[in-house]
Structure formats: structure tokens, C-alpha cells
């Protein structure tokens, strides 16, 4: 297919496709003339992955190129590939490693994961995120909520196990990386929303009058 059809089928504009070509994110098509090339279904799949990395994952072009380079290495194992993709979309938490409270929180999280038998990278920014959440819970005196740490871990393990199994079943490296990026970013948003709805349900069951519909939400101010 020519670039116009590639644009139409992928939903990516021609100028954007040319930008991806110049930046080395998209491999060149097969040259048919001085200024013409043919593209294949592989280019459509790669454009989907690029959009997942940049539009959904909010990665820089340089970071997206790094992930795409890992996809193209034949001897990259699936676990290394998925680890690269996940690491790319994790946002580093603003932590102070010299703060005693931060170190204590990190020790607590690490002890939890060890007790649960989880295999994890101790360098992962996700560990810093969890430790920072624990530190703030404790600093705000929310020890009763912090006592639910095992419950949070149990729920996370259930969801993550299903997510990873679904991604690995794709087998195609591009589609696997796409699944990690989209699943991590949009899955987080979906989980947050469902958790809020579940909190509404739990609140109504615990506090609402038996047999009565839940009360209407308060007025919503539109920005």
C-alpha cells in the first residue's frame, strides 16, 4: 500500500507518519521510485504500537525509540521485553532516599512483597511509588487504612495475573508491548474508576437505609 492508504487505515496523518519515519520509529517501506514506497500490514501494527507509546503512554520520542529497539532485538526474552515496556511508562515518585520515614516505608513494602513471595525488581520505580504512599499514609495518621496493605496487594495480584496472561497470549512482540503500555495506563484509570464505584456501593450498603435507593450525588460544578 502507498502512504496515503497507510494513513487512512492506521488513522495517522501523513505528516505524522513521515515524522515517525525520520525519527526512526517506523521502518521505511520498500522503495518503488525516487519518492515512493510501499508499506505492509507490519507498518500498520507498528503505527498502533507507536501511538500507544506516545499518545497513551506519553513517552518522549527518544523513550519510544528505546522501547521499539527492544522489540526489534531477536534474542530479547518475553520477560525482558515486557519489563522494558512497563519501566518506560512508570512515573518516578518524588522520594527522598535519605529520609528515615521513606526508608522505613520502603522496608515495609519490601517485607510485604518478600512475605508474599513476589518476584520483583528492587530498582523499579513502582517500589518507590508504593513506599511513598505508605509513608504518606503513616504521616497523616491513617494507620487503619494502612492496615489494609495486604488487601491492596491481594487485589493487585489478582488483576495483574490476569493482565499478564492476556498479554503473553498475544505472542507477537509488538502486540505484547502495546498491551503492557495501554493496559498499564488505561487499566490504572479503569481500576481507579471502578474502585470509586465500589466505594459508593459499600457506603450505601453500610450506611444507607435498607431497601432504599442510594442518595443522589451533590451538585456538580462544571469547570
- Per-residue confidence (pLDDT) for residue 213, from 0 to 100: 64
Q: What is the dihedral of CA 27, 31, 37, 40, to 10 degrees?
A: -60
Opening angle at CA 133, ends 177 and 82, nearest 5? 10
In this prediction, residue 177 has a pLDDT band, given cuts at 50, 70 and 90, of confident
Model confidence, pTM: 0.74
Contact in structure between 167 and 82 (CB atoms under 8 Å): yes
First to last CA, the chain: 45
Opening angle at CA 150, ends 146 and 57, nearest 5? 85
- 6-30 pLDDT, tens digit per residue, is 999 999 999 999 999 999 999 888 8
| Grid cell 512515573 in the structure block, residue | 91
- Of 118, 92, 16, 30, which is closest to residue 61 (Cα–Cα)? 16
What lies within 8 Å, CB to CB, of 31 at 6+ separation is 37
In this prediction, residue 63 has a pLDDT band, given cuts at 50, 70 and 90, of confident
Mean of pLDDT values over 40-50: 89
Amino acid at each position: 500500500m502507498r502512504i496515503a492508504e497507510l494513513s487512512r487505515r492506521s488513522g495517522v496523518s501523513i505528516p505524522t507518519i513521515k515524522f515517525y519515519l525520520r525519527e526512526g520509529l517506523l521502518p521505511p517501506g520498500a522503495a518503488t521510485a525516487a519518492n515512493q514506497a510501499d508499506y505492509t500490514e507490519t507498518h500498520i501494527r507498528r503505527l498502533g504500537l507507536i501511538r500507544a507509546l506516545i499518545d497513551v503512554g506519553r513517552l518522549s520520542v527518544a523513550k519510544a525509540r528505546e522501547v521499539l529497539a527492544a522489540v526489534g532485538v531477536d534474542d530479547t526474552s518475553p520477560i525482558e521485553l515486557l519489563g522494558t515496556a512497563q519501566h518506560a511508562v512508570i512515573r518516578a515518585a518524588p522520594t527522598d532516599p535519605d529520609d528515615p520515614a521513606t526508608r522505613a516505608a520502603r522496608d515495609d513494602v519490601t517485607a510485604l512483597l518478600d512475605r508474599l513471595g513476589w518476584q520483583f525488581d528492587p530498582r523499579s520505580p513502582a517500589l518507590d511509588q508504593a513506599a511513598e504512599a505508605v509513608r504518606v499514609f503513616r504521616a497523616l495518621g491513617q494507620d487503619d487504612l494502612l492496615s489494609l496493605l495486604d488487601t491492596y496487594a491481594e487485589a493487585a495480584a489478582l488483576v495483574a495475573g490476569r493482565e499478564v496472561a492476556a498479554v503473553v497470549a498475544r505472542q507477537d512482540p509488538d502486540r505484547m508491548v502495546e498491551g503492557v503500555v495501554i493496559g498499564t495506563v488505561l487499566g490504572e484509570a479503569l481500576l481507579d474508576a471502578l474502585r470509586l464505584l465500589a466505594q459508593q456501593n459499600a457506603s450505601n450498603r453500610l450506611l444507607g437505609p435498607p431497601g432504599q435507593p442510594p442518595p443522589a450525588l451533590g451538585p456538580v460544578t462544571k469547570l
